[in-house]
A = this chain, B = another copy of it.
Amino acid sequence: MSTDSTRTAILNAAERLYAERGFGDVTLRDIVAEAGVNLAAVNYHFGSKDELIAELFVSRSLATNRERLNELKAAESAGGGRAPIDAVLRALVGPTLRGCLGPDKQRSDAARFMIRASIEAVAPIRKIKNREIDHLRRFAAAMRRSLPGLPDVEIYWGLHFALAMAHQTIRDSERLERLSDGKCDLDDVDGMIERIVAVSVLALGGNAATDAGDTKPAARRGR
């Protein structure tokens, strides 16, 4: 217990700082100061800075992926193995968006860290990142089940656009807020998710897809 309190203090501090400032500006000395531990503790517990980052990334991406797949499975089993497309997309972008922009501070750091990691592509992460492709393939497969007639290439573009909108919204929420003079409500996470899901459904060929009582046009107020 007290054994790895130092370990987890380092992990949390690193995650918080990386999430906030990115990988470029955060040194080991910043991390240990934030964690309130000695400088050498990082190398003692993790071996090197790169291994710290890698461990952080692996554990967090496993958590995010698990959350996504849980939502997906729930939706698919509710629909007898075939979820409506909007539910699939919601399972894809929901966990990340709720994590980044929701109220939970701990999850917020984790989600923001993942966004940073997906963008800045620092060396130790680049090598592990290939696994994400496999994870996304499972969503591509689920989308294919939801939209049986749709050519594969459209599935991939739709998936790509959905992630693009979700990530950019997190990454540059500040710009959107300033650009819109606060008119775009970034605290309404659920509304935002629905907005992104709705646009993605349209991108995939519109409302013809599912039963989906109310896939309304994207350009409606949130929710």
Chain A: residues with CB nearer than 8 A to chain B?
Answer: 22-25, 119-123, 132-133, 136-137, 140, 147-154, 156-161, 163-165, 167-169, 171-172, 175-176, 178-180, 183-184, 195-196, 199, 202-206, 208-209, 217-223
Q: Quick check: A156 and B180 within 8 Å, CB to CB?
A: yes
Given A122-B24, A180-B156, A199-B199 in contact, is the A223-B149 Cβ separation under 8 Å? yes
Q: Quick check: B202 and A148 within 8 Å, CB to CB?
A: no
- Taking the closest CB of chain B, its distance from the CB of A221, in whole angstroms, is 4
Interchain CB contact (< 8 A) of A199 among B123, B147, B163, B202:
B202
Nearest residue, chain B, Cβ from A171: B119
- Taking the closest CB of chain B, its distance from the CB of A155, in whole angstroms, is 8
15 contacts between A and B (CB under 8 A): A119-B119, A133-B178, A149-B223, A151-B222, A153-B183, A154-B220, A157-B195, A157-B219, A160-B172, A161-B168, A161-B199, A168-B168, A202-B203, A205-B217, A205-B218
- Taking the closest CB of chain B, its distance from the CB of A184, in whole angstroms, is 5
Chain B residues closer than 8 Å to A23, beta-carbon distance: 24
The complex places the Cα of A136 from the Cα of B181 at a distance, in Å, of 13
Chain B residues closer than 8 Å to A171, beta-carbon distance: 119
Chain B residues closer than 8 Å to A137, beta-carbon distance: 179
Chain B residues closer than 8 Å to A196, beta-carbon distance: 161
Given A202-B203, A221-B205 in contact, is the A179-B159 Cβ separation under 8 Å? yes
Copies of the polypeptide in the assembly: 2
The complex places the Cα of A103 from the Cα of B187 at a distance, in Å, of 41
Given A205-B217, A222-B149 in contact, is the A157-B133 Cβ separation under 8 Å? no
Nearest residue, chain B, Cβ from A196: B161
Q: Quick check: A218 and B195 within 8 Å, CB to CB?
A: no
Q: Quick check: A205 and B180 within 8 Å, CB to CB?
A: no
